[in-house]
Amino acid sequence: MTTAPASPPKPGEHPATDQTVLSRLAGLKTMSVNELKEEWERLFATGAPNNSRSYLEIRIAYRIQELTHGGLSRKSRQMLKALSAEMHGKRLGGTPKMLDDRKPIPGTRLIREWQGVTHVVTVQPDGFDYDGQRYKSLSKVANTITGKHWNGFAFFGLGRARKGGA
């Protein structure tokens, strides 16, 4: 008879274990950067990637909890990988596209009046539809409408990109 592997304990299920984890997490705040780097090497079996105290604390804290309570399931890791690829515009064999947080979600209709004529653009995952044509950028659409070079986001009133992006 075979037994199923034990699943990691849930927080609160083993108070002594939870207290140990909490103590270790609290202890990270009192460590020097060199001590954090030593802890990194112990937990990850590799050298610390940098000297950023906050980065080391966060990643070590996650690793301590991961080793105690278990990490993400295979299904969750696959989902995160797929979402990351989608967010970065990766296609099989393609290259990542730059993300611009000014771009509305696909399906959004942008409406702009120019010289008495109303122009409607539909946002697509891979560009913009305007007047029966597909454009890769809003600037190309604005140029088609005005005959002049415009920043497409400015022309359609979408403002500036936020620092830190998506």
pLDDT digits 0-9 by tens, 104-130: 888 899 999 999 999 999 999 888 999
pLDDT at 161 over 80: no
Cα-based angle 123, 128, 129 (whole degrees, multiple of 5): 100
C-alpha of 26 from chain center: 28
List the domain boundaries for the chain.
15-69, 109-155
Rounded Cα–Cα distance for residues 145 and 154 (Å): 14
Whether the Cβ atoms of residue 135 and residue 128 lie closer than 8 Å to each other: yes
C-alpha of 115 from chain center: 40
What is each CA distance from 83 to 74, 108, 113, 124, 157, in whole angstroms?
A: 14, 21, 36, 18, 29
- Residue 164: the pLDDT is 46
What percentage of the chain has pLDDT greater than the value 90? 49
